[in-house]
Each structure stands twice: as C-alpha cells, then as structure tokens.
Amino acid sequence: MEMSSSTKNEVEDAAAPADDVPALAKHLERMVDRYNSGRSKFVGEDEEAEEEDNSFLQFLDMVDRISTASSTSSTSSSTSSVFASHELDEIALVLEKAMSLLEKRLSSLLLHQDPKTKPPNKSLSFSSPSYLSAYPDTHSPRPPLHDHHIQDPFNFSPQKISTLNKIATAMIAAGYHIECYLAFANFRRTAFRTSLQTFGFGSTRMEDLYKMPWESLGPEIATWNQVVWHCTTVLFQSERRLYESIFPDHPSVSQNLFCDLARQVIIHLLNFAHGAVLTKWTTEKLFKFLDMYETLREEIVGGSFLESGAKELVYETDAAKDRIVEAIVAMFCDLKNSIKNDNERIPVPNGAVHPLTRYVMNYLKYACEYKDTLEEVFEQGKRRNESEKCGEVEEGGDVEKEKNSGFAVQLMKIMELLDANVERKSALYKDEALRYFFMMNNGRYIVQKVKGCEELHELMGDNWCRRRQSGLRLYHKCYQRETWSKVVQCLKPEGLQVSGNKVSKQLVKERFKCFNRMFEEIHKCQSCWLVSDQQLQSELRVSVSALVIPAYRSFVGRFKQYLVSTRHIDKYIKYNPDDIELLIDDFFAGNSASMSRRRT
C-alpha cells in the first residue's frame, strides 16, 4: 500500500541522521511548509488535544539541534568552518522560518485563552457605594482577599503552559529571545488592559479627568480603588506565577517581563491618581480622596519582586500620596472657611437645628471612620507646614491642643467655628426666648452627635462634653427666664390686696386674664417651635410643667373662691391645671396646635 506524501515526509523526517545538520535543516523546512500550508496541525490548534504530538516534539528537537550546531559553527575559532558558507545561509534561513512559525504559534496561544478557564466573574462589582443624600458616603471596605467571587483571569491549562514553555525555550536557545520577549510583553499587556476594562476601569486621560464632573469622577475613583486592590492582591501574583511557570530556566526573562508589565500598570494607575487630585478640592470629595490615600498607603509597588525600577515607582507613589495629603488638608480648610464665611441672613424656621449644623456634624461623624488615616494625614501635613499654606496660624500656648493629634485639633477648631456660627445665626431671631431655644437646640444636637460616635467622643474628650452640657443648661435657664418669668410673676399673690388684707376681685380677674393671654400666646408660638431630639423635647416640657403648673394650681386654689359668684367665670378661669399640662404637651412639636384641648 502506497503511503501519502505527508506520511512519507514524516517518516523521512524521523529517519533523518542526528549528525547531518544540513539534512535536518531540509527536513525542518518541509515541516515548516506543512504547518504553514495547513496540511499538519500545530500543537495547540486542536482544543481537544490532551498531549503534544510527536511531530511537534520532533520539530522542537530539530530546532534545538540545528540552532546548537549553527551556534557552535559560528563561534568556532577554527579557520575551517564545519559547514560551507551556502549551507550556513540555508540553515539560518530555515531557522528564521521556524522561529517565525513558533512566534506565530506563541502569539496564537497567548491570544486565545484556554476555554476551560472561567472569565472574570461579573458579580465582582467595582461600582461606588451608595451615597447618602446631601451627606458624605460611608467608608466602604474592600472585598476580602479570598472572596469567592474573584476569579483569576490569567489561568492557562497545564498543557498550554507546557507548550508555551517549550516554544519559549526553543526561541531563546535559537537566539530569538527578543522576539519571544516582545510577543509575551505585547499580548500580556493587552490581556491585562482587557481585564481591567472588564471591571470598568478604562484609559481615561488626565486632561479628561480634570474636566470630569464630580458625579462621574466619584464612581471612577471608587472603581480605581478596587482595581488597584485587585491588581496588587490577585492579578500581579497570577501574572508572576505565569511567567515563572513558562520560564523556569530563565529567571531573568521572567523577572523582566513581570517588572515591565507591573511598572506600566502601576504608572497607569498612578496617572489616574495624579489626574484626580488636579480637580478642584472641595469638601464633598474628602472621603473618596481618603480612600485613594489608603489604597496608595498599601504596598502596591512590592519592592521584593520589582527590583528594577522600584525606586522610581516608590517615588511616583509617594508623590501621589503627598498631593492627596495636600488635598485632604485643603478640604478641611475649605470646610472651616465655609463655616466661617457663612453669612446666611434668613433664620431657620421655628428655631430648628440648622442644616449647616446637621451637615457638619454628619460630615465629622463619617470622617471619624477614617480616624487613624486622618491622624496620619494631618501628622504629615504638620511636618510639611500645610496649616500655614492654607492661611491658618495655630494658637500658641494651648496646652490641650498641643497634646492632641492633628486631627483632634482640626475637630476642635471646626467645633469652635460651628459654635460661633450658631451664635451668629441666633442673633437673627427677634424673640430672645427663641434665640436661646435655637442655641440650646443646635447645641444639644452637636453634643448628642459627639456622644453617639465613639471615635468623635474620644477625640473631643469628656471635659469638652461636660463644658458643653453646662452651656446647654445655661441656655435652658435663659429660655425659661425669657419665656416664663412674666407668666409665673403673674401667678404670685403679691399686689392683689387692697384696703388692708381684702383681696380685690377685679385684680384677681385681671391676673387670670393676663395669664390666659400670655399662656395662649406662648402656646400658639412655641407649639410651632421644633425639637427633633425626643429626649430634649421631653425635658423641656417637663421643666415647663414643673415651673408653671404648681404655680397655676396654687393660684387657682387660693383665688378661685373670689370668682365663684361671678357670671361667666370660665372667661377668667379658662383652664384647670390638668388642661395646662395637656397643652404644654403641644410645645416644641413643630405644629400649630389648637387651644381647644381639654381633659374630659
């Protein structure tokens, strides 16, 4: 039975003498032609193949023997060459064809990922955390290192790694290490870029970042934080293992490939940080910038496996961190200046907690989630004299401030500015009682926020809280004095007697009428005043009741007898003490209440 030409050639190739290099070169050329023409499949083209076929191993063996003999001949010091000149040229040409084929196959293997390898799981979300309306977003932790949703996008099957290793080894041995290196570098760089794009991180230019509105840039920063984390904890480790598996006998090639790729990726990531920090530094950006600082604070360079160029990357990373520190300090300055320069001339209705008070206290509460980071940032800012740059001069001789961290000093300064702002706002009220009520209401909100946040309470200290509580008690007394002193004075018995010890019926009528008028005016007004703190609301009602009801009950009990015979007595004694207590329960609810409420 006659053999096919393809089978015949393969048999002839197998029978080629081991020491006849020109003959081996001819056989190798025929194999290259068969592979290029498609008459033979190259290893890796059949996705179902489990093992390398013998022809491929024979192909690599021929390449190795020919390249070794050719190299030995070209470096021989003998005056006579082992091969003739034309034979050397033919051998070199065949090797070049073989290397071109190997390079194509190498590129094909690198381009097409193993179909058995799972792609990155789309359930790993790099989107930004949900925002709180009008307030900063919370400190969102990154997913854990061994999150089961995270897949390694660079896995290759053992069979493919073995094939890549053999091709790379053959190319390097034949002197084609540059071509091998560039093929790996180009395709792995593309694979890395594609992987990052899968997670939503593109190639936005710095000038585009600078122009990007914060509504778009904020989520981009959140994605960047997660991408940096994913690169340094998953992708870089996977990429390094891949190179080490393919180049076990050429550690310098493996090291250089990884370092070049990692350097390009890190520079790309740092360029994003530099671009983001060029945007205007405003208060609402603080928390995203703190996330960026924390990300860069981790060892993203990894000096232990990035020896070449590590110093440059460390310098670039530190430069980005310094700019972020400068931005964070400036954002706190922006917050302080916004409080100091707030000249709103319209008082908040009903003496309620001012929106600025709410914003600042919630802002500081969320900032305390980054307490350790902010203390580190302000310590760096102090060393670089950032406070002078933003126009601050710290008070000298303040022992309490000197013993506190930079972040604590900033908090105290903000509290002082907020106190001054609340006091300025209180002057907008014409009613003195409402003025004190406003300061008490806002002051209570501030204290409760501090006491309700462990980190904020620790930074401000118990002494600060005690001083503030004392101030709130003073505001409470001033409110009572301005509101109820005249009412209680009206219920005193002095001045009701005429002609010796005789009580004037007319004067008793006037006192009751006076009390009714003043109480009804206060009820109408202060039922609209708003205290959102339920405990403070209850405390105020109890204190008013304790002041007014005993005095009213005593006055009614003592002087009601003088009006028993009076027609329309309910014109004067309109309320019994229980009615007064019920009506006081309407106070500070923020609603216009009716005076018709009576106990039945």
Long-range contacts from 308-316, C-beta under 8 angstroms, 24+ separation: 308/255, 308/256, 308/259, 309/259, 309/263, 312/263, 313/263, 313/266, 313/267, 313/270, 316/266, 316/267, 316/270
Same domain, 306 and 423: no
Here the tokens at position 354 are 């001012």
Distance CA 167, CA 170 (A): 5
- Look-up of token digits 């462990």: 454
Mean pLDDT highest for which of 187-191, 206-210, 389-393, 579-583?
Answer: 579-583
Is residue 226 a part of any domain in this protein?
yes
The domain of 277 spans: 175-341
Same domain, 208 and 250: yes
pTM equals 0.77
Distance CA 297, CA 280 (A): 23
Is residue 60 a part of any domain in this protein?
no
DSSP per position, 291-351: HHHHHHHS-SS-GGG--TTHHHHHHHHHHHHHHHHHHHHHHHHHHHHHHHT----SPPGGG
Distance CA 435, CA 203 (A): 55
Let me know: does 562 contact 507? Beta carbons within 8 Å. no
Query: Over 90: is that where the pLDDT of 468 sits?
Result: yes
Here the tokens at position 336 are 């302080």
Phi, psi for 211 (deg, rounded to 5): -90, -10
> Which positions ≥6 away from 29 have C-beta within 8 Å?
94, 97
Distance CA 109, CA 137 (A): 45
User: Would you state the pLDDT for residue 38?
Assistant: 65
Let me know: does 447 contact 468? Beta carbons within 8 Å. yes
User: Would you state the pLDDT for residue 137?
Assistant: 43
List beta partners, residue 135.
132
Distance CA 563, CA 509 (A): 8
- Look-up of token digits 């790996």: 184
Average pLDDT over residues 569-587: 92
Tell me, rounded to whole angstroms, the distance of Cα 333 from its chain centroid.
Answer: 20
Same domain, 489 and 375: yes
Distance CA 109, CA 103 (A): 10
Distance CA 303, CA 458 (A): 37
Is residue 181 a part of any domain in this protein?
yes
Q: How many domains does the chain have?
A: 2
User: Which helix (H) or strand (E) segment is 252 a member of?
Assistant: helix 251-277
- pLDDT tens track for 240-285: 889 999 999 999 999 889 888 888 888 889 999 998 998 888 899 9
Average pLDDT over residues 420-431: 96
Query: Over 50: is that where the pLDDT of 89 sits?
Result: yes
Same domain, 337 and 411: no
Let me know: does 163 contact 57? Beta carbons within 8 Å. no
Taking CA atoms, 103 is separated from 107, 128, 168, 387, 522, in Å, by: 6, 42, 9, 59, 92
- pLDDT tens track for 57-81: 878 887 888 877 766 655 554 434 5
Q: How confident is the model at residue 43 (pLDDT cuts 50, 70, 90)?
A: low
Let me know: does 324 contact 277? Beta carbons within 8 Å. yes
Cβ-based neighbour number of residue 561 at 10 Å:
11
Same domain, 271 and 334: yes
Average pLDDT over residues 159-165: 89
Is residue 216 a part of any domain in this protein?
yes
Of the listed ranges 88-102, 114-128, 373-387, the least confidently predicted one is 114-128
Q: Which of 112, 109, 250, 103 is nearest to 183 (CA)?
A: 103
Same domain, 369 and 316: no
Same domain, 301 and 414: no
Distance CA 202, CA 216 (A): 13
Q: Which of 220, 203, 227, 221 is nearest to 153 (CA)?
A: 227
Query: Over 90: is that where the pLDDT of 208 sits?
Result: no
User: Would you state the pLDDT for residue 123?
Assistant: 30
User: Would you state the pLDDT for residue 82?
Assistant: 56
Same domain, 304 and 331: yes
Of the listed ranges 23-27, 36-40, 531-535, the least confidently predicted one is 36-40
Here the tokens at position 286 are 């603080």
User: Would you state the pLDDT for residue 593?
Assistant: 65
User: Would you state the pLDDT for residue 397?
Assistant: 41
Same domain, 316 and 419: no
- pLDDT tens track for 531-575: 989 999 999 999 999 999 999 999 999 989 888 887 888 889 999
Let me know: does 123 contact 149? Beta carbons within 8 Å. yes
User: Would you state the pLDDT for residue 132?
Assistant: 28
Same domain, 261 and 370: no
> Which positions ≥6 away from 362 have C-beta within 8 Å?
132, 135, 136, 449
- The overall average pLDDT reported for the chain is 80
Give percent above pLDDT 90 in the chain. Answer: 40
Hey, CA dihedral for 453, 454, 458, 462, is it positive or negative? positive
Q: How confident is the model at residue 600 (pLDDT cuts 50, 70, 90)?
A: very low
Coil, helix or strand at residue 86? helix
Is residue 520 a part of any domain in this protein?
yes
Same domain, 230 and 260: yes
Q: Integer distance in angstroms from the first to the last C-alpha of the chain?
A: 121
Distance CA 394, CA 412 (A): 12
- pLDDT tens track for 334-352: 999 999 999 889 999 999 9
Query: Over 60: is that where the pLDDT of 158 sits?
Result: yes
Same domain, 424 and 327: no
User: Would you state the pLDDT for residue 27?
Assistant: 76
- pLDDT tens track for 174-196: 888 898 899 899 988 888 888 88
Is residue 522 a part of any domain in this protein?
yes
User: Which helix (H) or strand (E) segment is 497 a member of?
Assistant: strand 497-498
- Look-up of token digits 């204290």: 447
User: Would you state the pLDDT for residue 566?
Assistant: 75
Let me know: does 129 contact 222? Beta carbons within 8 Å. yes
Cβ-based neighbour number of residue 49 at 10 Å:
14
Domain CATH code at residue 465? 1.20.1280.170
Is residue 68 a part of any domain in this protein?
no
Is residue 460 a part of any domain in this protein?
yes
Here the tokens at position 375 are 């203390």
Let me know: does 366 contact 138? Beta carbons within 8 Å. yes
Torsion of CA 274, 277, 196, 122, to 10 degrees: 170
Orientation angle between helical segments 310-340 and 371-383, nearest 10 degrees: 100
Q: Which of 250, 96, 89 is nearest to 165 (CA)?
A: 250
